[in-house]
Amino acid sequence: MKLSEIVKTLDAKVLNDGNHLDKEITTCGASDLMSDILAGLSEGCILLTGLTTIQVIRTAMVAGVGAVVFVRGKTPPQEVIDLATEQELPLISSSYSMFVSCGRLHACNLTGLDGRR
């Protein structure tokens, strides 16, 4: 599904410039452990996390993550948003919990990083 549809599904707001919302996403990883994201097949996935540190962005860049969703309405500091924007990494914030966000995306046929649902 397109990133723009994910934004709608999660009643989310886009935190940076709103470019790249046509990006196609098929897999989803949800974790606050960055090494788990680095260990998985996270290329092009959407990453759901409750962490808002700059290392989330670096992890996403290194792993080739397609976009990051901050759950529970979290918003990262401006320097984190700026780094993501510079790297053309879309950032989204949803007021839903991790559990509900995952459920809504699962219902839209997104798979886990290993391709299973």
Partner 1 sequence: MTALKKSFHIKSRDFIRAGEASIQIQALLKTLNFDPKMIRRVSICGYEGEMNVVMHGGDGTLRFEINTNQLIIEITDDGPGIVDIAKAMQAGFSTASDEHRNMGFGAGMGLPNMKKNSDDITVESEKGQGTLVRMVFFLSKGGDAV
The reply on whether position 33 binds partner 1 by CB under 8 A is yes
In which element (H, E) is residue 93 found?
strand 91-93
Could you give phi then psi for residue 20, rounded to 5 degrees? 70, 15
Beta-ladder partners of 68: 47, 91
The region of 18-26, 56-64, 91-99, 103-111 touching partner 1 under the rule CB under 8 A is 56-64
The reply on whether position 108 binds partner 1 by CB under 8 A is no
The reply on whether position 38 binds partner 1 by CB under 8 A is yes
The reply on whether position 56 binds partner 1 by CB under 8 A is yes
CB 85 within 8 A of CB 2: no
The reply on whether position 98 binds partner 1 by CB under 8 A is no
Nearest to partner 1 of 1, 36 (CB atom): 36
Beta-ladder partners of 24: 2
Both tokens assigned to 74? 């979290």
Interface residue list for partner 1 (CB under 8 A) = 32-36, 38-39, 43, 49, 51, 53-56, 58-59, 61-64
